[in-house]
Structure 1
Amino acid sequence: MEKQFVDLLSEELKLQETVGEEHIHHMNITFGEARRLASQYQKEAEKCNAATEICEAARERAEALLLKERKITSLWEQRARQVGWQGE
């Protein structure tokens, strides 16, 4: 009877060890997937930041060009008024 009890305890310990190993294996897979996704999201964030910087630089260039165009337009309008043009 005592041998059966020891055998049952031994079997229970082996089962718990197997379940523990499976749990560790599952956690390792989950952790690896989480690291992969985090890396992917980091790369996407870096791309987004780079694109935002490019857009901001383009906006600044467009703003500078618009200011330049307004100055030129104002100059031409001033010259036109000097020769008799009457705007709206």
Structure 2
Amino acid sequence: MAHPTDYRLCSPGLVRLVLFLLALCLVGYSVRRQLFWHLSGRGSCPRCDCDCSPKSTLPLPVGISDSSLSDCGKDDPEMNAEMTKDIITLLTEEISLHKSVSEDNLAHTKALIMDARKSSSQYQKEAEKCNTGMETCEEAREKAGAALSEERKLSALWENRARKNGWVD
């Protein structure tokens, strides 16, 4: 008689230990990169060449002071011109850009419509040629059918005359 065997491979304590080690490995893997960058000295951003003052309420990166941001764009004429524009000028420029984009889209659409019309016209001409050819073929078939019918009548007439005169197949 066979003895029932207990196939429990591991105890609950061993399962807990394995799960704890797995969780520890996952946590170590997720913070590995941050620790590597922090310990290697690459954790902070490189210094910026531009001394820009922040327009938002975001905190400054590590190593950049607020006093070094006061003269950003002072010597750039394009930046000065953009910064001095008021909201109406900016909105007018945006509207003109939207208008030019819509005009380009309209011109492209018109070109596509003209191309479609040309193709449609060409297909209509081809269809008319095909219909004309079909009508011609139909007329020729009707004429050939009438001629065949006439030939059969004549053949039957001659065959009857031949039979009366003693002809046999």
Matches within 5 A, 1:1-88: 3-87=85-169
List per-residue Cα deviations over 1:8-61 (Å, max 9, x = no partner). 212211110110110110111011011111111111111111011101100010
SS in 2 for 1:85: coil
Moved over 3 A (4+): 1-4
TM-score, normalised with respect to structure 2: 0.48
Deviation at 1:2, TM superposition (A): 7.9
SS in 2 for 1:14: helix
Please list every run of 5 or more consecutive structure 1 residues that lacks an aligned counterpart in the other structure: none
Deviation at 1:6, TM superposition (A): 2.2
TM-score, normalised with respect to structure 1: 0.89
List per-residue Cα deviations over 1:64-84 (Å, max 9, x = no partner). 110011011101111110111
| Distance in 1 between residues matched to 2:126 and 2:158, nearest whole Å | 47
- Structure with the greater relative contact order (CA < 8 A, sep ≥ 6): 1 or 2? 2
Counting matched residue pairs gives 87
RMSD, matched Cα: 1.5
Amino acid at match of 2:147: L
